[in-house]
A and B are shown apart, each in its own frame.
Chain A
Amino acid sequence: MKLVACVKTTPDTTATVKVENGKPTWGEAPLVINPWDEYTVEAALQLKEANGGTVTAISVGGEEARIALKHALAMGADEALLISDPALKPVDPQGIALILAAVLQKLGGVDLAFFGRQAIDDDSGTTPAQAARLLGWPALTLVSVIKVDGSNLRVERAIEEGRQIVTARLPAVISLVKDIGEPRYPSFMGIRRASKIEIPTWSLTQIGIPAPASVVEYLSVMDAPVREVVCELVTGANPQEIAEHLADKILGEKLL
């Protein structure tokens, strides 16, 4: 099977993100593979192990995109592909969907394209569905279990009400939730291999599309308002008394 894992580089989840000079910044916090995309790679590797095939990791961006690709390689992806182009300005998730759909077309013969449910920087969570729509492939989003039998696909999707069990034919787009399984750690050998491997780069010209323009304008960004709370510690002579004081205070807020 030809399996593709679409990945992105983001600041680490522990980063303190602040707006400085009109842009989000995260100080010394490291850039890492988007945490959701670790599940993307994990799902692709699991399927390769079960059904055979190759896993290609793809990322769109500048030099920073190599961080996510290297991580995917270290986890065990067979190859990586960087889509980078001087004409490519920072673009919104819909622009990324356009590029990825074109890349998936260009690669040819792809059976499954895996995505994380969202990137933890922009938090849009729309790229998988949009790429699928552009390709005319089924969008199987928020998937927790995957089974492939020939060209038939059966997945479980995590929806608000529980799980929806869906069947479709390949090729398809799949986005993952955590239930797919804990992502494996890169092995020592994997890290060594990833550091040596040459990652090919495709320009937009090679893909055959113009640089997409953002359809959403980001007018400004601001820090989330600081929660001005002073914690009132509730005390009492014994747990019962503490509980009664606390219950009265909570009910006094009239939020129930």
Chain B
Amino acid sequence: MNTLVYIDHFKGEALPASWEAVGVAKTLGTVTGLVIGSGLEALTKSAFEYGVDEILVAEDAALTDYRAELYASTLKQAFSERNWDVLFFPTTSRGRELAAMAAIDLNTGVLVDVVALEASGERITAIRPTYSGKVLAKVTSSLKPQIVTLRGRAFPKPSPQPGKSGTVTKIAAGSGALTEVEGYSTAEGGVSLTDANVIVSGGRGLAENQSAQLPAGLDAKQGEIWRAQHGFTMLKEMADVLGGAVGASRAAVDAGYVPYAMQVGQTGKLVSPNIYFACGISGAIQHLAGMRSSKLIVAINKDPDAPIFKLARFGVVGDLFQIIPALTIAFKQRLAK
């Protein structure tokens, strides 16, 4: 099969799920990569190292910022000349949207957020989680081309082969932009939750640190938030030692402790890190839906009956304000940092 992989990136830096998609496409046949944007040289080089056989480069000042309509038209134009059997996208914010639009543009369907797939002959059958992963659906589409978006961290990332190269073909930008990009306000740096190998998450329990010295003049609610944010700083220190990111339960977000961007769960981010620490999180079903596919779950909670322990491989029943700092030191020593 001839496959196309849309390589999603931000300012020339690929999202890891793009390379995972290249790995999947590679198992099916020849892989053409598509990169759209400007300043794409390093990205193109990486694409070959991760296994792309040929790369199409749409490089134009007008393409510098991701704009859905313009990118979708560029893809449509490329397709009209090349007719791939399968188009793969990583299930990122951009990948999902472009795949959806491509399905309309190319009169076909899209299999969204796939976590496993098999090809028999020319037909792809895929597994995708529905109901927040409570139910898995086996799906296919008889229409051509087949469009599939692949969930990040569901497939292995291929090991890059330094120095590998291939054919670079320049393609033209599409037309029909309907938006202008004024700029970005980027979140504070650090590892993004969906890419993170390790996530340290906190819940309501983070506000229960009675020993912290409150600054004067805070009312009860302000004091609670101050305590919780103090607690999240403690989680961040451990996450930094492990090269991970900090997440939160819905309860912690709703209580105003941390911004919504940190929420893990059914109405937040779906994550699947190698190690997930649930600290002071009881484990409501909506939270479990967002992190249940984590490889190893570690729960630290003072309530031995908290539902989170049913999903955890390791648990500590105790005061997280004593355990986490000690655990951070223990990791530091063992990882020699």
Contact = CB atoms under 8 A, between A and B. Distances in A.
Interface of A: 11, 13-14, 16-19, 24, 35-36, 92, 94, 97, 120-127, 129-130, 133-134, 137-142, 154, 156-169, 177-179, 182, 214-224, 227, 229, 231-235, 239-240, 242-244, 246-251, 253, 255-256
Given A17-B134, A232-B315, A139 B97 contact: yes
Contacts of A231: 299, 309-310, 312-315
Contact of A165 (B113, B184, B261): B184
A164 B197 contact: no
Nearest to A137: B178
Interface string B116-160: 000000000100111111111111111100000000000000000
B331 A247 contact: yes
A130 B103 contact: yes
B27 interface: no
A92 B69 CA distance: 23
A157 B100 CA distance: 18
B3 interface: no
Interface of B: 10, 15, 65-69, 72, 92-94, 96-97, 99-101, 103-105, 108-113, 125, 128-143, 178-187, 192, 194, 197-198, 242-243, 254, 259-261, 263, 266-268, 274-275, 284-286, 289, 292, 295-299, 309-319, 322-323, 326-327, 329-331, 334-335
Contacts of A24: 130-131, 135
A239 B310 contact: no
B178 A244 contact: no
B69 A162 contact: no
Nearest to A142: B93
Nearest to A223: B135
Nearest to A11: B131
B198 A256 contact: yes
Contacts of A19: 135
A124 B103 CA distance: 13
Given A24-B130, A215-B141, A255-B296, A232 B314 contact: yes
Contacts of A251: 331, 334
